[in-house]
Amino acid sequence: QVQLQESGPGLVKPSQTLSLTCTVSGGSIRSGGYYWSWVRQHPGMGLEWIGYIYPSGSGTTHCHPSVHRLVTISVDTSKNQFSLKVSSVTAADTAVYYCARLGALVWDFDLWGRGTLVTVSS
């Protein structure tokens, strides 16, 4: 079955760029009907949608307005991966970051990675 796995540094210095990759296994990232997404959860807090990418064509992306200037989501279909970059991070970006598959019909996250904790600290 399809599985997602996040990877990347667990510690990032303030003002630097946070970079994470999500590897999709057991299925193609090009399979239609899904957006590939990032969601984060600050310590002890709720879930926050960051953005998604649709791999077809040039790779349509859409991000939450509160973060879109700092966030880049990209896809590498040859590696069956998609990535997240958050620039100019601060302590407020410390969170568990999840990659997830988002259904295009009813906007449901039906598959999730295990999540990875990223701490922003000097």
Partner 1 sequence: QSVLTQPPSVSGAPGQRVTISCTGSSSNIGAGFAVNWYQQVPGTAPKLLIYDDTNRPSGVPERFSGSKSGTSASLAITGLLAEDEADYYCQSYDSILSGVIFGGGTKLTVL
- Interface residues toward partner 1, by CB under 8 A: 37, 46-49, 51-52, 62-65, 98, 102-103, 105-110, 112-115
Q: State the minimum distance, in angstroms, from the CB of residue 15 to partner 1.
A: 27
Q: Which is nearer to partner 1, 51 or 55 (CB)?
A: 51
Q: Least Å distance between CB 85 and partner 1?
A: 18
CB nearer partner 1, residue 16 or residue 68: 68
17 in helix, strand or coil? coil
In angstroms, the Cα distances linking 72 to 27, 62, 82, 86, 105 are 24, 9, 11, 7, 24
Beta-ladder partners of 6: 22
Q: Cα dist. 57→7, 53, 60, 69, 75 in Å? A: 25, 11, 8, 22, 11
Contact 49, 64 (CB under 8 A): yes
In angstroms, what is the minimal distance from the CB of 121 to partner 1?
21
Is-contact 13 122, C-beta < 8 A?
yes
14 vs 47, beta carbon nearer partner 1: 47
CB of 98 to partner 1, least distance (A): 6
Choose between 49 and 80: whose C-beta lies nearer to partner 1: 49
